């Protein structure tokens, strides 16, 4: 692909991933299926004997395909499923080429990283297609069970796998942390069940449910493979593995299904840039010479107009934009962040009085803190406010980042105040849910 064409596709994909799940992606023709198949057959398949997590996994630089789809095909290692459900789902996807093109546009930002991480761990590369089923590769996807990101982690499981969820960021949405957590979780499930189909079922339904289904069939003297357990599974899980197989089949032979997959270059799309102090999201995008939507597409975990955190916090940028970022940062000469925090001490602190105190408007404070109209802040809430000159070079403290809580209630002057107060937002990542929902510990499954 020519540099100009790649650049155009990359910018289109960035804009697409920041938009709603059903936005339109650029429809870029792929190489012919014959060429792709020849490339796949010309090199060794990733060995199934390679145990997940081993350090001697095949190195990424051994791959020479120019198209990432071919690289994924060459590492297929999960036994195929062949039943009516697979055919039904393959027909559904192949009948929607625009939908597949939109998914491919979003996936083009993240897919190389996912494939590379799978190969490092010696895991089957078709697992890189799992976000097609989970989220259509939309990092903003959110299920009714509050599962978020391309890998659809619910809050509890996210915490179990060290995905930070606080007022400032939700790592379930960030590609680096969530991919590492998802692959670690899948490895754990594979070790537990010794079977990728059952591991995938457990990823969707919870390992406790799969274990109980296995014990039930064992007690009845029945087999315990995926097909034999399917009748005990909810419909979503029963269709989960067949859906992945359907997508796997389409990627393996797109021409057979009348599908043209937009080409995705087999090279890194982004690079990680260290962040050493607080920086406004808009300033980071400006330094990288990107639009805010383009920047958010690669950094969807950041929830506020300021990016906080210490040395471990990374910003993802396309390579050429990372170079621009460093050059522009060196000549910036101004404060990088214009935001700090303020803790509400009592009812006398209204949004209007805070706006006056910090030299801004109520609308700016409401927007920065996602405060609905006709509500007021409750005492104990920590909110973002513009910095004063005295705090221009002060970063938000780590203990505030980790523990900040925002809570609000209906304004007393409103007629609806009689209904009492309502807590709209709870502590870091709980999002007002009454109880933690986890794939690993509950029979309540995700519903998208």
- Predicted pLDDT of residue 324: 98
pLDDT of the residue at 64:
61
First to last CA, the chain: 36
Cα gap 303→307, rounded to integer Å: 8
Q: With beta carbons less than 8 A apart as the criterion, state whether 275 and 309 touch.
A: yes
In tens digits, the chain (448 residues) has pLDDT values of: 444 444 444 444 444 444 333 332 323 333 333 333 333 333 333 334 344 444 444 444 444 678 999 999 999 999 999 999 999 999 999 999 999 999 999 999 999 999 999 999 999 999 999 999 999 999 999 999 999 999 999 999 999 999 999 999 999 999 999 999 999 999 999 999 999 999 999 999 999 999 999 999 999 999 999 999 999 999 999 999 999 999 999 999 999 999 999 999 999 999 999 998 999 999 999 999 999 999 999 999 999 999 998 878 999 999 999 999 999 999 999 999 999 999 999 988 999 999 999 999 999 999 999 999 999 999 999 999 999 887 778 999 999 999 999 998 998 754 444 444 444 344 444 344 433 334 443 434 443 3
Sign of CA dihedral 191, 194, 200, 202: negative
Cα–Cα distances (Å) from 65 to 44, 69, 261, in that order, read 12, 9, 15
Model confidence, pTM: 0.79
DSSP state of 386: E
The pLDDT of residue 413: 56
| Residue-level pLDDT at 36 | 36
Residues 417, 415: Cα–Cα separation, whole Å: 5
pLDDT at res. 412: 72
Check residue 393 and give its pLDDT.
Answer: 80
Q: What is the pLDDT of residue 272?
A: 97
Within 8 A by CB and 6+ apart from 147, the residues are 153, 154, 446, 448
Catalytic residue, chosen from 65, 134, 294, 349, is: 134
Distances (CA, A) of 409 to 354, 379, 380, 419, 423: 17, 10, 13, 10, 6
Q: What is the DSSP string of 323-354?
A: HHHHHHHHT--S-S--EEEEE--STT--HHHH
134 is known as an active-site residue: yes
């Amino acid at each position: 692909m020519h540099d100009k064409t790649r650049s155009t596709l990359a910018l289109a994909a960035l804009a697409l991933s920041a938009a709603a799940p059903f936005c339109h992606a650029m429809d870029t023709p792929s190489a012919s299926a014959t060429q792709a198949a020849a490339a796949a057959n010309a090199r060794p398949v990733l060995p199934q004997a390679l145990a997940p997590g081993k350090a001697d996994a095949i190195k990424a630089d051994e791959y020479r395909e120019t198209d990432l789809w071919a690289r994924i095909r060459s590492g297929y290692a999960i036994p195929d499923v062949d039943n009516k459900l697979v055919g039904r789902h393959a027909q559904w996807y192949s009948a929607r080429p625009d939908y597949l093109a939109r998914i491919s546009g979003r996936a083009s930002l993240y897919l190389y990283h996912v494939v590379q991480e799978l190969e490092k761990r010696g895991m089957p590369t078709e697992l890189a297609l799992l976000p097609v089923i989970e989220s259509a590769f939309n990092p903003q996807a959110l299920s009714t069970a509050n599962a978020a990101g391309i890998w659809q982690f619910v809050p509890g499981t996210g915490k179990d796998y060290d995905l930070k969820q606080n007022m400032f960021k939700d790592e379930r949405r960030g590609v680096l942390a969530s991919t590492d957590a998802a692959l670690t979780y899948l490895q754990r499930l594979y070790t537990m069940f010794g079977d990728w189909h059952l591991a995938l079922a457990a990823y969707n339904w919870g390992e406790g449910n799969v274990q109980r289904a296995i014990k039930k069939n064992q007690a009845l003297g029945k087999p315990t493979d995926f097909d034999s357990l399917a009748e005990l599974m909810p419909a979503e899980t029963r269709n989960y593995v067949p859906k992945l197989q359907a997508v796997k089949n389409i990627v393996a032979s797109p021409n057979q299904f009348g599908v043209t997959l937009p080409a995705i270059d087999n090279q890194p799309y982004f690079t990680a840039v260290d962040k050493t102090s607080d920086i406004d999201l808009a300033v980071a995008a400006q330094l990288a010479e990107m639009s805010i939507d383009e920047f958010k597409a690669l950094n969807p975990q950041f929830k506020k107009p300021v990016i906080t955190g210490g040395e471990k916090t990374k910003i993802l940028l396309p390579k050429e934009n990372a170079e621009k970022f460093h050059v522009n940062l060196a000549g910036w000469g101004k404060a990088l962040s214009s935001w700090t925090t303020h803790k509400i001490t009592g009812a006398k602190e209204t949004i209007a009085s805070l706006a006056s105190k910090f030299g801004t408007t109520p609308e700016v404070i409401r927007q920065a803190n996602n405060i609905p109209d006709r509500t007021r802040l409750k005492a104990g809430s920590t909110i973002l406010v513009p910095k004063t000159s005295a705090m221009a070079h002060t970063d938000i403290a780590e203990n505030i980042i980790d523990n900040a809580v925002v809570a609000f209630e209906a304004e007393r002057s409103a007629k609806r105040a009689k209904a009492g107060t309502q807590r709209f937002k709870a502590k870091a990542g709980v999002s007002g849910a009454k109880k933690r929902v986890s794939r690993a510990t509950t029979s309540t499954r995700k519903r998208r």
